[in-house]
A = this chain, B = another copy of it.
Amino acid sequence: MTTPQGRAGTKGVPRPRREQQILAAATEEFGRHGYASASLAAIAARVGVTKTLLHQYFGAKQDLFLACLNPVGDQLLDAMRAAMAEGDATAARTPLLVLRAIFSALDGRREGWFVLYDASLPADSEPARTAARYRTAIDQLAATGTADLLRATGSPDPLDADALKYAWRGLVSALVRWWINHPDQSPDAMADRCARLFAATGRAFD
């Protein structure tokens, strides 16, 4: 028999399961609306639980955010490191390998990308610092990639490399956003699509 709504007491959902539900909902909410606009009440409502439970399980809003951020950041970093080690650094297919790794790492929690790249984090806060650490680590990977690319094509301006790093990040963000709007697409299908697009645009600018 189902527990009647609105009454206190356990609903039979064990803590680890609830925590996972909450993390999933929070990741989506934070990713969609950004930290500042996301509301704890909305996250709780999505899980079918009250605000209080979030605090009891994860602490303050910042702590909940960190609990969403850390796994996403770790998984992304690992995936990207593995992908960049796979192909030799100067190969033109490295970017596509990295993309495929990102899509795979993000599958099931696609909004996590925007948790990492949330611009609405309060400055001088733990979430902002942690996210910045992850971003720096990722950027460093991307920097070696873009630097290799530019060196191979002979453009020595360091500002160019920095701008290319930004562009690459923005490109990935846009692709992930498109992916979120097309939930039926598998990670591999996305990677294949990107390969097609890269090839097509590359041909146009040769």
Beta-carbon contact of B174 and A169 below 8 Å: yes
Q: Please give the count of copies of this chain that the complex contains.
A: 2
Give the distance in Å from the alpha carbon of A200 to the alpha carbon of B85 in the complex. Answer: 23
Residue count of chain A within 8 Å CB distance of chain B: 44
> A157 to chain B: which residues have CB within 8 Å?
193, 196
> A36 to chain B: which residues have CB within 8 Å?
33-34, 36-37, 120
Given contacts A149-B201, A200-B153, A202-B202, contact A163 B193 (CB under 8 A): yes
A177 at the interface (CB under 8 A from B): yes
> A163 to chain B: which residues have CB within 8 Å?
175, 178, 193, 197
Identify the A interface with B (CB < 8 A). 32-34, 36-37, 92, 119-120, 149-150, 152-155, 157, 159-160, 162-164, 166-171, 173-175, 177-178, 182, 193, 196-206
Given contacts A34-B119, A119-B34, A169-B174, contact A205 B196 (CB under 8 A): no
Beta-carbon contact of A162 and B178 below 8 Å: yes
Beta-carbon contact of B193 and A198 below 8 Å: no
